[in-house]
Amino acid sequence: MFVALEFARLVRANQSMVFSVALRFLRNHEVAEEVSQDVFLQLYQNLGRIQNEAHAAWWLRRTICHRAIDEVRKRKLRPQIGLDSIPDPAAARQEPDWLQNERLRRFVEALPVRPRMVVVLRYQEDLDPTDIAGLLGIPVSTVKSHLHRSLAVLRARLARESARQSEGVCYECGK
């Protein structure tokens, strides 16, 4: 009974973090929910090893990162906008800069797997490069390199998009 209550509490406290990392990385609601659920069920099986809430959050964050990366490689998910990736009009109204944000999310999705996860952890979870390196099991220098290059790519793409818009060019169709 105690274990069940503790698990329920951890799910409610961390569901947004886990789901968001999966969603921002995978860009697919259905897959993100499925992977997030699997991670929590994995937590349930390993509850005996969790020492406290902070440890649980760290464990969940590390597991969802690795699971999401594995999922991309397994499904060979390509950057695309599925119907379920487009929020409904109500959601778009709640996000004033939805168009700009959506454009940026698409650019992030187009990044290679590791740099994409580094960007999500840095700008969604607000983790510093040392924490990101620990979570992903890569050197801090590699994390900083990924961040530096990804920001450069994103700036270039945003600049290109702005230029096209000012010229009246549609980004999607190139006309």
Query: Shortest distance, CB of residue 103 to another protein, whole angstroms?
Result: 8
Write the single-letter amino acid at 53: E
76 or 125: CB nearest another protein: 125
Among 31, 65, 119, 136, binds another protein (CB under 8 A): 119
CA of 25: how far to CAs of 28, 42, 52, 57, 91, in Å? 9, 20, 27, 18, 19
- Contact of 22 with 64, CB cutoff 8 Å: yes
Among 82, 155, 160, 171, binds another protein (CB under 8 A): 155
Site track 87-116 with another protein (rule: CB under 8 A), x = hit: ----------x--xxx-xx--x--------
- Contact of 141 with 37, CB cutoff 8 Å: no
- Contact of 55 with 38, CB cutoff 8 Å: no
Number of chain residues interacting with another protein (CB under 8 A): 36
Torsions phi, psi of 32, nearest 5? -60, -40
Q: Is 145 in the site for another protein (CB under 8 A)?
A: no
Torsions phi, psi of 97, nearest 5? -95, 40
Q: Is 85 in the site for another protein (CB under 8 A)?
A: no
Task: Give the C-alpha separation, 152 to 172, whole Å.
Answer: 21
Closest C-alpha among 139, 104, 137 to residue 119: 104
Among 28, 31, 35, 40, binds another protein (CB under 8 A): 40
- Which residues contact another protein (rule: CB under 8 A)? 4, 7-8, 11-12, 15-17, 19-20, 23-24, 29, 33, 36-37, 40-41, 44-45, 97, 100-102, 104-105, 108, 119-120, 123-124, 126, 151, 154-155, 158
